[in-house]
């Protein structure tokens, strides 16, 4: 058997196993609302999501950097924090903007629509352009579970 066919078979098996093991998860309930922690640190956006238990600060929290994931048709609360500088966090496509300051709490609340991709713009109050503060917010269809992006 040529090496490539061996690999394909192996991958196919893996794929079946994977699908079998994750089937129950696809039936999870749609998120009506979510609280996501957005932290500016060293000119990057760090996002923390509550994970399956729906509670922030527990072991199953999910995370992403630079790009933000949002469930579709849900109420969103972004809790803005900073570990160093003063940042501005903006979703210009839907006209939202707020600051993130160390030791202070700021929040953005909005409702998402159907699946789409939004721009995330970040700014820090100095003369440098920080490309790492610019990213995307993916509003994800929840049919296969919101956290499917993290697999």
Residues that bind another protein (CB under 8 A): 82, 84-86, 88, 97-99, 101-104, 106, 123-128
Q: Token pair 């093991």 is at which residue?
A: 21
Nearer to another protein, 25 or 97 (CB): 97
Considering the complex, state which of residue 48 and residue 81 has its C-beta at the smaller distance from another protein: 81
Instruction: Encode 18-54: b = buried (16+ Cβ within 10 Å), e = exposed.
Output: eeeeeeeeeeeeebeebbbbbbbbebebbbbbbbeee
Of the two residues 6 and 97, which places its CB atom closer to another protein in the complex? Answer: 97
Q: Shortest approach of another protein to residue 127 CB, angstroms?
A: 4
Residue closer to another protein by CB (options 39, 82) is 82
Under 8 Å between Cβ of 35 and 71: no
CB 120 within 8 A of CB 134: yes
Give the ranges where the chain is alpha helix by DSSP (H): 3-22
Question: From the CB of 39, what's the least distance to another protein, in Å?
Answer: 13
CB of 86 to another protein, least distance (A): 4
Distance CA 128, CA 8 (A): 48
Cβ 88 to another protein shortest distance, Å: 7
Alpha-carbon distance of 130 to 144, in angstroms, equals 34
Nearest approach, Cβ of residue 13 and another protein (Å): 30
Cβ closer to another protein: 28 or 132?
Answer: 132
């Amino acid at each position: 058997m040529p090496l490539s066919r061996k690999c394909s078979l192996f991958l196919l098996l893996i794929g079946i196993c994977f699908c079998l093991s994750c089937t129950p998860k696809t039936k999870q309930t749609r998120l009506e609302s979510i609280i996501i922690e957005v932290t500016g640190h060293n000119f990057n956006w760090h996002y923390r999501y509550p994970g399956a238990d729906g509670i922030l600060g527990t072991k199953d929290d999910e995370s992403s950097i630079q790009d933000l994931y949002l469930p579709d048709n849900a109420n969103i609360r972004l809790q803005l924090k900073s570990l160093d500088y003063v940042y501005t966090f903006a979703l210009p496509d839907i006209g939202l903007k707020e600051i993130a300051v160390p030791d202070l709490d700021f929040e953005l609340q909005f409702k998402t629509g159907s699946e789409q991709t939004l721009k995330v713009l970040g700014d820090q109050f100095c003369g440098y352009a920080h490309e790492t503060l610019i990213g995307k917010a993916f509003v994800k269809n929840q049919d296969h579970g919101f956290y499917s992006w993290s697999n």
